[in-house]
Structure formats: structure tokens, C-alpha cells
Amino acid sequence: MGWNRVLAAATAAGGVAGLAALMRRYAAGTARADRSWPAQVGAGLRDLGDVDEVSILPLVERLTPDGSGLAGEPGVSYLVRAGGTRVLFDSGLSGGKPESALAHNARTLGASLQDLDAVVISHLHADHVGGVRAMRAGTFRFSAEPLEPRGIPAYVPTPMRHPRADIAVTAGPRVIAPGLAVLPPLPRGCCSGPAISASRPWWSTSASSAWS
């Protein structure tokens, strides 16, 4: 949920009092996640392993550097590399356009969308699945033209459909490659999911999507 939506909901619920109630609900959800999530996901990550190199390349974000040639939009997409595995995390907002921000920026940055090993969708909101039409259809899109590799695994938080991808609903932790796992959504009332967890020796990181 975006902060503008939080504020709008707070106003509808009674201004400052409504905002305070929403923040208490968020804090309670975070506390529940702190208590329950480690036990929920820990057993599924015992065989995670690790990799020598992890990188996260933003492909879609709202702000872009001047003169970069990159397209900015209020959406999210990241290219996660863990060892030799390449995963696209979310697909931005403009997937219905002939050349979406995702397709344009991937081409500009030399990041091929044809060489992906998997797609992870954090949640079914327009700014994460390629636009309002994709959201309403319960799918995701890279661009108006079908750019998704045929048969690519797509790990999603809720039942979705896609004409080219092999859909897998993320109900629990799943190791998808050495050093790389997909985690289930966080408890209701906290943040969105699923998330990606990547592990190197003595270090780990994750990509997740919250408040949007």
C-alpha cells in the first residue's frame, strides 16, 4: 500500500486518529512477522547454499538520473543476479505500452529479458505487474509485445495466469537455484510479498516490496 493510500485511508477513517490506528496495525503486523516468519521459512532454507556474487540492478524506478536515457515511472522492477542465475523481480507499470519502461531500460542497460531464469511477482498491484490491465487480468506483462521467454518459471503470491510462463504460487519458502530462494508473503497487515533471498558466504540480502 502506497503512503498516499495510507494517508487517504487515514483521512477517511478520521484524520490523525485514523492514521494512528493504521500505524498501530502495521506495527502489530511487523511484530507478528518477527515472531512467526523465521520459524515459517527457516526449515525450507536449510539447503539454500551460497554463491560468490550477488547483484541487484534497478530496471524500473520513479526517479532516473538526468541524461541517463532511462525511463522513469512509478513502478518497480529489479534484475537480481545470484551466481549464474538471473531473476526479474516485478515488471513495472507500463507493460501495456509498445515499449514499456522495463523493455526500454533493459535495452539501454544491456540487460536481456530473454536470458532470464525466472520471474518473481511480489503482489498483484498495477505498478508491479505491468499496468492496470495486467492487474485486472490476473497476469503480468513485460511490454505490449510478448517478451517473456516461453516456459519461464514465474513465482507469484496468488493464483495468476500467463500465456508463456509456468506459474507457481509461492505458499512457502522454495530454493530455486544455488544461493537463491523465493519466500512467501509476509503476514497480513505487514508488508507484501513474496520476496527473494540471496545468500553469499557470511552475508545475505533480500529484495521485497512493501507499501506500494
User: Residue 77 is part of a domain; what is its CATH number?
Assistant: 3.60.15.10
What 8-state DSSP symbol labels residue 202? T
Q: What is the pLDDT of residue 191?
A: 47
- Rounded CA-CA distance 185/155 in Å is 11
DSSP 31-48: HHHHHHHHHHHHGGGTT-
Residue 112 reports pLDDT greater than 80 = yes
Q: Per the domain annotation, does 3 fall within a domain?
A: no
**Quick check: 140 and 91 in contact, CB under 8 A?**
yes
Which residue shows C-alpha cell 530496471? Answer: 59
Task: Tell whether omega for the bond before 65 is within 30 degrees of 0, i.e. cis.
Answer: no
pLDDT in tens, 72-111: 999 999 999 999 999 999 999 999 999 999 999 999 999 9
Q: Per the domain annotation, does 6 fall within a domain?
A: no
Q: What is the pLDDT of residue 188?
A: 55
Which residue shows C-alpha cell 531500460? Answer: 105
Q: Per the domain annotation, does 22 fall within a domain?
A: no
The parent domain of residue 73 ranges over: 47-207
Q: Per the domain annotation, does 153 fall within a domain?
A: yes
Q: Per the domain annotation, does 119 fall within a domain?
A: yes
Q: Per the domain annotation, does 71 fall within a domain?
A: yes
pLDDT in tens, 7-40: 555 555 566 777 787 788 778 777 776 676 667 6
Query: What is the grid cell recorded at 42?
Result: 527457516
**Quick check: 70 and 58 in contact, CB under 8 A?**
no
Q: What domain count does the chain have?
A: 1
pLDDT in tens, 32-64: 766 766 676 777 777 888 888 999 999 999 999
Q: Per the domain annotation, does 128 fall within a domain?
A: yes
Q: Per the domain annotation, does 143 fall within a domain?
A: yes
Residue 145 reports pLDDT greater than 50 = yes
